[in-house]
Chain A
Amino acid sequence: MSDRTKGETVSDSPALAIEDLHVSFSGSGGSGKVRAVDGVSIRVDPGEIVAVVGESGSGKSVTSMSTLGLLPPTASTSGSVRVGGVDVTTLDGPALRAVRGSEIAMVFQEPMTALNPAFTVGWQVAEALRLHIDGLSRKQALDRAAELLETVGIRDARRRLGQYPHELSGGLRQRVMIAMAIACEPKVLIADEATTALDVTVQAEILDLLRDLRERFGTAMLVITHNMGVVADIADRVVVMYQGKVVEEAPVEELFAGPRADYTKRLLGAVPRLRPRGDERTGEPAVAGEPAAPGEAALAIENLVVQFRGKGGAKVRAVDNVSLTVAKGEVLGLVGESGSGKSTLGRAAIGLITPASGTVRLLGDSLTGARGSALRRLRRRCGIVFQDPASSLDPRMTVGDCIAEPLVINKVGDRDERVVALLESVRLDPAVRLRYPHELSGGQRQRIGIARALALDPDLVIADEPTSALDVSVQAAVLDVFLELQARLGFACLFITHDLAVVGLVSDRVAVLNQGKLVEEGPRDQVLFDPREDYTRRLISSAPVPDPVEQRERRARAAELRAARD
């Protein structure tokens, strides 16, 4: 891969050279001096894409921030960061601003907060230009802005210039961010989790765009990500970081084919992969793929419609005439992109949102008509696990109180014993019950969420993206706990996620949701490996797999699919 840059480079000097970088933060909240980055050296040649991977706390974002001198004043740095031969760590004020944007630019994770909601897109792109090019008139700047938007693949660029960030989709906003970043043709582009907040289909398009920009402008890129699929898709070379240190550095194919460092092996081992399960779990007859009859199902949703009031009183159908059943003891994976209505469906299934029409039956009893104590009796047979472990536990209650809450509400005795048993079942030390949620890690908190959901021995568990906020190695451990408990306790589960590999791991059957409508439903292997619908096919082909060779083939196939659609 590295010979790709031959001929494009005039000199042998790297576009970006980080040498022996140390960054530490002086204590926040009384936690002493924290070493975030500990002797990191990374070199990016012109036209090369280097991915920095690591889990949260590995120091990868701090490294990327230091390249633009964006670290907060509490940080102390040593070492050098050379951009085109200039050490940015020694610069400040106007000299630093001159380097930012024109030599090195950055694309952030969350395009909504990185764009100013009070100004039009055109104004903001033009502003980026006028900051660096003297004597550019407003008109010229806008013309150039339109060109830039076209460069990043935005159709109808003239009209888009007059729009505000909230009028654009997440993918378009990220394209605008990229347009601003490349406005002054920087030699180095840093993409810090630039596709993390996006849906897989949009992510695939943005990754295509980045590749295209590299081909056309020879831009060197440093891609910061935690997603091994993204790495396999885009990187030439990979730097693996762990606790502030570089543990391994290798060309992408070498790294995936034969990781050397223990941490890399563990990291790659934890990434869920989409593989056909075959006849592994055929011991359970209820799971053979035939939807159960509504009477005996754990959850039966029929013609469910959920409406929200949108702009100007117009009604938006978040869930549009969906029928689903989850048999007893079965895990139904519900997949969809953001805005597909999958979370709404999950909440309606447990009565947290009132549907406009349609019925929900829990274990044969109608939930839609139930009120007051009848509703509460039904609900105690369900548990729910939320996505964000930080907000699903009351910060003012101890872990023990959080888990005991369903027991208290439903006046079940033997609370202490039960809490200890539950904590043990999610493989946590029972002593944590005396601590507060903020003292625990995200993975531990999510296990507590699972323990709470299981406190009343539910027949049905709704799991709403339970592992999306977690690092891969933590995700693997939490999924492991979940699967073990499901097999042991035999509860039915509606498992909501956007991650196809996770769905492949946990579910017996899979349902695909798009824009509130049910696209496809069927046995796991059939939906994931032999999908009948175009949308499902596109969704599956967009999800990058953590294998550079396979990913290249998939990319080609996805491009064909797109071409066929257009």
Chain B
Amino acid sequence: MTVSAPLMTEQAPATTAAGPYRRMVRMFLANRLAVTGLVILGLLLVFCFIGPLIHHTDQVHTQLADATLSPGTRGHLLGTDDVGRDVLGRLMVGGQTSLEIGIAAGLLATLIGTVWGAISGYAGGWIDAVMMRVVDAGIAIPALFLLLVTATILRPTVPVQILIIGCVSWLVPARLVRAEALSLRSRDYVQAMKAMGGGHGRAVFRHVIPNAIGTVVVNATFQVADAILLIAYVSFLGLGVAPPKTDWGGMLSKGISYTSEGYWWLIFPAGLAIVLVVCAFNCIGDGLRDAFEVRLQGR
């Protein structure tokens, strides 16, 4: 004989009055891991964007006299790197680049993928076939390869990186949204709208995409995590943003050259930051999936 959770009973009155969005927020907040992810992400954002205002460091000039100081010495909480820049400060500045590129590229990829997939799935027929073959062809080419090639041709500034990563990673969301759109287009409310004289644009943007939003949002978080990893790869291979700017991947790449000297503080902080941010986004994605997945609710 099961005992009902007292927590649930207290919340009972809220369900009847709340719209779907408030209910989703509640579902999301009930997921401990997702809340942890959100808190970690928040702390990281504060650390990277507000941190430099409190912890002033020179991240442009080299001070060879202060090179590779170990953590804790003279105001360098995490020590200094091979040219004397403060690692803590650098972690903040590098994080800005990583997060900016990751979030912007992830969102761009989601946007392109959603619109592409929704149109493809809604249209069906030969339009769908052509649009999906484009996606198949895109998936057949490794994203990393495309990134490396373009990085050698173009100067890898932040906007360029965002554009490139965004344009190579919209394929997966496009497939996901297309699958949703295929079933959504035959729903009665889309049929009813057509019968009222509504056009295709309204069907796609007012009905198909809003109802696929769960898939889109959940996937967006994973897209951001992937984009951060991807940009880390590229930088690690030495093709990231140009110095003096850096990102976490670039910091790692630098640090690796000094492993044999035992300068662990050049590797661990950046590596840990990447792991943390990717985990945070994945946890948030999980929480969002719970929030959007009505069928799983109440388990």
Contacts and interface: CB of A to CB of B under 8 A. Distances in A.
Interface in B158-209: 187-189, 191-199, 202, 206-207
B65 interface: no
Contact of A409 (B189, B197, B210, B211): B197
A380 B198 CA distance: 9
Contacts of A379: 194-197
Given A31-B15, A388-B188, A392-B188, A410 B9 contact: no
Question: Could you say which interface size class chain A belongs to?
Answer: 35 or more
A76 B2 contact: yes
A377 interface: yes
Contacts of B206: 394
A405 B193 contact: yes
Contacts of A350: 195
Contacts of A376: 197-199
Given A29-B15, A439-B16, A394 B298 contact: no
A388 B187 CA distance: 10
B130 interface: no
Nearest to A393: B189
Q: Interface majority SS on B: helix, strand, loop or mixed?
A: helix
A32 B298 contact: no
A29 B12 CA distance: 9
Q: Interface majority SS on A: helix, strand, loop or mixed?
A: loop
Contact of B2 (A31, A73, A436): A73
A75 B195 CA distance: 44
Contacts of A351: 195
A409 B15 contact: no
B9 A27 contact: yes
A393 B298 CA distance: 24
A275 interface: no
A405 B198 contact: yes
A352 B207 CA distance: 17
Contacts of B8: 26-27, 30-32
B207 A394 contact: yes
B285 to A, nearest CB: 20
B19 interface: yes
B298 A29 contact: yes
A276 B5 CA distance: 56
A386 B197 contact: no
A26 B2 contact: yes
B213 interface: yes
Nearest to B298: A28
B73 interface: no
A564 to B, nearest CB: 41
B213 to A, nearest CB: 7
B197 A380 contact: yes
Nearest to B187: A391
Given A388-B188, A392-B188, A30 B196 contact: no
B152 interface: no
B60 interface: no
Interface of B: 1-5, 8-9, 11-12, 14-16, 19-20, 26, 187-189, 191-199, 202, 206-207, 210-211, 213, 297-298
Given A26-B5, A351-B195, A379-B197, 10 more contacts: A32-B4, A33-B4, A33-B9, A387-B188, A394-B211, A395-B20, A396-B210, A397-B210, A409-B197, A436-B19
